[in-house]
Chain A
Amino acid sequence: MTLMLQTRDVARHFDVSRPWLQRTIAREPKRILRAVDGVSFDIPKGTTLSLVGESGCGKSTVARLVVGLYRPTRGEVIFDGRDLQDARSDATQRRRMQMIFQDPYASLNPRWRVRDIIAEPIRAFGLIREPQAQLDKVGELLKQVGLSPLDGQRFPHEFSGGQRQRISIARALSSNPEFLVCDEPTSALDVSVQAQILNLMKELQSRLGLTYLFISHNLAVVRQVSDRIGVMYLGKLVELAPAETLFTAPRHPYTRALMDAIPDIEMTGRTRIPVGGEVPSPITPPSGCPFHPRCALANDRCKAEMPKTLPARGTPETQVACHAVEEGRDGGPKPALAAA
């Protein structure tokens, strides 16, 4: 099993202090936002790893770290055996990774024709020099994502949200990448269109052997596309497990709460007890385990000591960072309410 991507204790902190002068006058300390704080995972070639979590948990920052839009504050990202910075300085490596974005209205330059948008990576990497051959390739890519080659001469605003997302995918595919980072690719779309895009992405993966890092807040979507799933909370990976295991036996109390919170059409008229409290600010995270203020199983150790990521008792294929699971206080593996 060869790895497409590895991250080792990757962290990314942002300085969100006020400007120097105001800060000095008000005698404020620097404010550091720990968007991602020590995340490690592997993605084997040809598989999909998904990261889920609520807004502000750092999942989109991980996506940007992994394609080099941000440099890590700490830790390392390894792309196909090479350090990411090193790999990205080499165009033949850079073309192997591409990204698909969330907002289909912001991810395409409104002043460019679709054919130029899709051809941009081809031109930037000098993959095809001859203009007619470039156009042929663009037509072929448009067909591959379910659009007509004639659509190339139109502008982005002439397309619906779902069609724009197809154009985004065509652009990402145009440099023949092997690794695609997908940052919430369907969350701005209506559900019937979401199904189209998810089906297309699965189809492309099996046809082209792509490796995906898939970012989403929607657990149901993630279940449909993932081989393995990581759950993030306040910049940390709290649980990482094979997709089926995560859904049949979620271990971390946060994962369980998240699964129980999802409104589901199977659950008409049910009443339930939602998890209380709110996500704390990543500028002033709680001591110890970040989830302890909202966790029913929290004790003094959870408040003081950050749990290590370890294989879970009962489901050793799950990596989980929880004292309660480690000590066996969680009552062992059992299905979540919604997945029951």
Chain B
Amino acid sequence: MSETETLPAAGSAPATAPLLSVRNLRVEFPTRRGTLVALDDVSFDIHPGEVLGVVGESGAGKSMTGAAIIGLLEPPGRIAAGSISLAGKRIDNLPYEQMRRIRGREIGAIFQDPLTTLNPLYTVGRQLVETITTHLPVGPAEARRRAIEWLELVGIPAAAQRVDSYPHEFSGGMRQRVVIALALCAEPKLVVADEPTTALDVSIQAQVIALLKRLAREKGTAMMLVTHDMGVIAETADRVAVMYAGRIIEIGAVRSVVKEAAHPYTAGLMGSIPPISHRVERLEQIDGAMPRLSAIPPGCPYNPRCPRVFDKCLTLRPELLDAGATRAACWLYDPK
């Protein structure tokens, strides 16, 4: 029995029971050259009303984690070990039909590209009404009233008229708002948002972030926010998990991770973000690149790039250990 199963997955989590609980999750992709381990021993909790940010470079497994939770792993990917529980109930082993019901009712999903979520053939109103009547005990008239209310809530001007428009009649930013309304209208307990602002312009991005934050607070919805943009995480999330090569290598309160990162990778990542407040002659950089899934080194996956590497890192894989304000998977924090 590993340590992560007995301890809460992160330092400063609230004392309430977690809404989402991921334990030792392992996702594998069988290929003809052998099995790739896309997620390895991933554990974390999200509590009601909390926003957990998940960051990492492309290929680190952050989107994969979101896909595993909503039960939409792309084949041939499969959950090989571990568990995902929503409000104490296992959801990782449910049949497709049952999972589909949970996906609308209890977990909402927001993806990077709003066009993949919206059906171009139906008006946004129809799509909202359908979602609401499928998952909530309300009639069509009430559902339409709520649909308009949601469109207003996400900041679509003249919502009563726009409700009968088709997705292509909205601009990119407005479409992403419709997707948010669609993800939230069945009042799910958890929202998984995968790069919700990446396709948007900076000024629109800010509007969408502010909206997500407000809705999470007002409705008490828990949120898993997957993004590569540390700025977005810093402004939106309560806690943050940093992923590297399919593993969580650091998790903790957002302020602690940003300001006092314990893991050398997190520290390097924060240092390499160009500051807007001043000019530096040379940015901190992490040499090299994240290993491909087919070539993850033994021991700590970060060891080839780590400036503080020592012999233990080369052979033994570190668990998440207490590292001051956060928990980090790094042998530097080994109490022994």
Contacts and interface: CB of A to CB of B under 8 A. Distances in A.
| Whether chain A touches chain B in the assembled complex (some CB pair under 8 Å) | yes
Given A198-B283, A264-B276, A265-B273, A160 B289 contact: yes
Interface in A262-319: 262-272, 274-276, 278-279
A264 B231 contact: yes
A199 B276 contact: no
A190 B56 CA distance: 9
Given A54-B203, A261-B202, A278-B174, A266 B285 contact: no
26 contacts: A161-B289, A162-B289, A163-B289, A191-B230, A192-B57, A192-B269, A192-B272, A195-B271, A195-B284, A196-B286, A199-B282, A202-B281, A220-B273, A221-B274, A223-B274, A224-B283, A243-B279, A263-B209, A263-B234, A265-B258, A265-B273, A266-B277, A268-B254, A270-B235, A272-B210, A338-B277
A24 interface: no
- Those 6 A-B pairs whose CB atoms lie nearest each other, nearest first: A263-B231, A195-B272, A274-B206, A190-B57, A54-B201, A195-B285
Interface of B: 57-58, 171, 173-174, 201-207, 209-210, 213, 228-232, 234-235, 254-255, 258, 268-287, 289-290
B238 to A, nearest CB: 9
Contact of A262 (B58, B174, B231, B279): B231
A220 B285 contact: no
A176 B229 CA distance: 36
A140 B171 CA distance: 48
Contacts of B231: 262-265, 267
Contacts of A108: none
A278 B283 contact: no
Nearest to A294: B203
B207 A274 contact: yes
Contacts of A279: 201, 203
Nearest to B283: A195
B280 A224 contact: yes
Contacts of B272: 191-192, 194-195
A135 interface: no
A190 B228 contact: yes
Nearest to A193: B289
A87 interface: no
Nearest to A221: B274
Given A163-B289, A223-B274, 20 more contacts: A162-B289, A190-B58, A190-B290, A191-B57, A191-B228, A191-B230, A193-B57, A193-B289, A195-B271, A195-B274, A217-B202, A223-B275, A257-B203, A261-B206, A262-B202, A263-B234, A268-B235, A275-B203, A338-B277, A339-B277
A338 B206 CA distance: 13
B49 to A, nearest CB: 15
Contacts of A267: 231, 234-235
A191 B289 contact: no
A232 to B, nearest CB: 13
A219 interface: yes
Given A223-B279, A243-B279, A274-B207, A268 B285 contact: no
A261 B230 contact: no
Contacts of B277: 264, 266, 338-339
A338 B276 contact: yes
A194 B210 CA distance: 27
A224 B283 CA distance: 8
Contacts of B207: 274, 276
Contacts of A238: none
Contacts of A262: 202, 206, 231, 276
Contacts of A54: 201-203
Contacts of B275: 220, 223, 266
B210 to A, nearest CB: 6
A258 interface: yes
A223 B203 contact: no
A88 to B, nearest CB: 33
A163 B173 CA distance: 33
Contacts of B290: 190
Contacts of A263: 205-206, 209, 229, 231-232, 234-235
B279 A202 contact: no
A195 B173 CA distance: 29
A274 B203 CA distance: 7
A265 B278 CA distance: 14
Nearest to B253: A268
Interface in A191-223: 191-196, 198-199, 202, 217-221, 223
Residue among B230, B274, B287 with the highest chain A CB neighbour number at 10 A = B274
Nearest to A163: B289
A258 B202 CA distance: 7
A268 B258 contact: yes
Contacts of A261: 202-203, 205-206
